[in-house]
Amino acid sequence: MKFLNKVKMIIFPLSVLFIFALTACAVRTPVKQVSISEIKQNLKYENIIFGDFTAAPGVKSPEGPLLECRRSAIEYLEIKNIFKRVEKDSGQSYNEPTLFVSAILTNLRIVSGAGRFWGGAFAGRSNMNMSVKLTDANGLLIAEKELIGAPGAFSSTWSFGGADRSLPQKMGFLLGDFILANVSRK
């Protein structure tokens, strides 16, 4: 009987830990991955122009994360060396086929370093949700998607909040992948 009680004392905490681990996994919107050589062969848009990124009413302190997301998306696409221009909208007109990117931040929660330190995984999960639209020069909607990024609470704890702080940058990479998936001729 004592053996059975010891087994119960071990199995119960392990099951609770397992349930927490499953619910704390990272979440990311799946985006089609495409090869750079395939994009270069079927490229439809030569310019990628980023408009102003805005936030929905009620989103607190969106300025920094929005700037970081746009900056990392631009850098991510420039590194691919596919497009003539990848830049923030300056108001000029473009002769080449151009894709315009606009985004609205619909939800933002980044757990602070102090919250992560004192609460660990129990401080919850950081998340960033953006509604993204890709349009051409004529205003025709090319693609639209809600992009979601949410690192796991345990990974954020083990990285001492690094996963929380890098969320806007990684959302920029996700946005870049979404753009790459939609710039080729179908």
Report the distance separating Cα 96 and Cα 93, nearest Å.
9
**In-domain check, residue 14:** no
> What's the total number of domains in the chain?
1
Q: Which domain holds residue 48?
A: 26-180
**In-domain check, residue 111:** yes
Q: What is the pLDDT of residue 18?
A: 53
Mean pLDDT of 58-79: 94
Higher pLDDT, 39 or 29: 39
Query: What sign does the dihedral 18-24-28-33 (CA atoms) show?
Result: negative
**In-domain check, residue 44:** yes
User: Residue 103: which CATH number?
Assistant: 3.30.160
Q: What is the pLDDT of residue 5?
A: 67
**Residue 117: both structure tokens together:** 């330190």
The backbone region for 171, taken as left when phi is positive above 0, alpha when psi lies in -120 to 50, beta otherwise, is: alpha
**In-domain check, residue 186:** no
The string of pLDDT tens digits covering residues 32-52 is 888 888 888 889 999 999 998
Distances (CA, A) of 20 to 25, 78, 117: 9, 39, 18
**In-domain check, residue 93:** yes
pTM reported for the whole predicted model: 0.82
What sections of the chain are H helices per DSSP?
A: 2-23, 36-41, 63-80, 113-119, 153-158, 162-165, 167-180
Higher pLDDT, 71 or 155: 71
How many residues would you count in the chain? 186
